[in-house]
């Protein structure tokens, strides 16, 4: 049994023009209930009626804010991804830290998140939705593109000899590794007990790879300089 204390998904609602505070609070209540349904029951049970029950509202009242399920899922996705963006940005925002430490912090955050029931259940649902919903697919692509850009920037600071393309490739490897880990070491997954070990191996592997690639790049540059003499 995975005993890590669960955490709720961070919801960050984008205020609508002219919206009152009470309206924003109602929207947050609905989105929180919608997230709970998606996480605990899956998209197959995701209906306006079920979300209304979860939020303690009448279906008619909920429909006033979100007439269609598709509108609700889209605003929910945006609010969820905004929350993850905020957490990720905070992990690497301290420019006083060495860039290598910022990579460690971001990777550690990702593994800590996958230790929660919410994240372990949520992202597979989002990936499945992205397979047949273009809006969800586009939103996830934007989210991961932003995340990869931040990783690549810090990797470039760790290894200045590497090109932007090389840094983005390493960042993609790191992101794919971490996301894929959810299936194996996420909350209550078969190898959840190995999560900490996998985190340490992932960090060590990525940093070692980055430095090894930089050493190769430096050697190639030095050889080119010798040929020009």
Question: Residue 228 has what pLDDT?
Answer: 66
CA atoms within 13 A on the CB side of 121: 17
H/E stretch holding 159 reads none
Best CA proximity match to 173, nearest among 208, 221, 197, 138 = 208
Read off the pLDDT of residues 120-138 as tens digits, 9 standing for 90 and up.
999 999 999 999 899 999 9
Question: Residue 61 has what pLDDT?
Answer: 93
Mind giving me the DSSP string for 71-96? HHHHHHHHHHHHHHHHHHHHHH--TT
Question: Residue 54 has what pLDDT?
Answer: 94
Tell me which of 8-17, 22-31, 47-56, 151-160 is least confident. Answer: 8-17
Q: How far is the C-alpha of 4 from the C-alpha of 171, rounded, in Å?
A: 27
Percent of the chain with pLDDT over 70: 88
Question: Residue 7 has what pLDDT?
Answer: 59
Q: Is 27 helix (H, G, I), strand (E, B) or coil?
A: helix
For residue 21, pLDDT over 90 is answered with: no
DSSP state at residue 5: P
Mean pLDDT for all residues in the chain: 88
Question: Residue 95 has what pLDDT?
Answer: 76
Read off the pLDDT of residues 178-191 as tens digits, 9 standing for 90 and up.
999 999 999 999 99
Q: Is 97 helix (H, G, I), strand (E, B) or coil?
A: coil
Helices (H), the chain: 21-41, 48-55, 59-65, 69-92, 99-114, 117-130, 134-158, 164-185, 195-228
**Cα–Cα distances in Å, from 69 out to 25, 48, 155, 203?**
19, 6, 40, 40
For residue 229, pLDDT over 80 is answered with: no
Q: Name the token pair of 107.
A: 């990777």
Q: How far is the C-alpha of 69 from the C-alpha of 67, rounded, in Å?
A: 7
Cβ contact 38:76 at 8 Å: yes
Question: Residue 2 has what pLDDT?
Answer: 55
Read off the pLDDT of residues 202-219 as tens digits, 9 standing for 90 and up.
999 999 999 999 999 888
Q: Model confidence at 22, in pLDDT bands (50, 70, 90)?
A: low
Read off the pLDDT of residues 148-180 as tens digits, 9 standing for 90 and up.
999 999 999 999 999 999 999 999 999 999 999
* Furthest-apart CA atoms within the chain: distance in Å: 80
Q: How far is the C-alpha of 28 from the C-alpha of 78, rounded, in Å?
A: 12
Q: Model confidence at 92, in pLDDT bands (50, 70, 90)?
A: confident
């Amino acid at each position: 049994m995975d005993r890590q204390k669960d955490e709720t998904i961070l919801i960050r609602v984008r205020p609508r023009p002219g919206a009152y505070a009470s309206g924003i609070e109602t929207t947050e209540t609905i989105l929180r209930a919608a997230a709970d349904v998606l996480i605990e029951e899956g998209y197959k049970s995701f209906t306006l009626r079920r979300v209304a029950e979860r939020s303690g509202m009448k279906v008619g009242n909920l429909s006033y804010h979100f007439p269609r399920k598709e509108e609700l899922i889209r605003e929910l996705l945006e609010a969820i991804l905004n929350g993850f963006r905020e957490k990720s940005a905070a992990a690497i925002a301290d420019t006083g830290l060495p860039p290598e430490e910022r990579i460690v912090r971001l990777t550690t955050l990702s593994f800590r998140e996958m230790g929660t029931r919410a994240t372990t259940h949520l992202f597979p649902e989002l990936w499945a939705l992205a397979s047949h919903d273009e809006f969800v697919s586009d939103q996830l692509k934007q989210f991961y593109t932003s995340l990869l850009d931040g990783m690549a920037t810090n990797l470039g600071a760790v290894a200045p000899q590497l090109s932007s393309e090389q840094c983005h490739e390493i960042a993609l490897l790191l992101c794919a590794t971490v996301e894929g880990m959810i299936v194996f070491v996420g909350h209550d997954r078969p190898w959840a007990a190995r999560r900490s070990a996998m985190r340490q191996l992932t960090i060590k592997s990525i940093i070692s790879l980055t430095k090894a690639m930089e050493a190769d790049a430096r050697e190639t540059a030095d050889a080119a300089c010798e040929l020009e003499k």
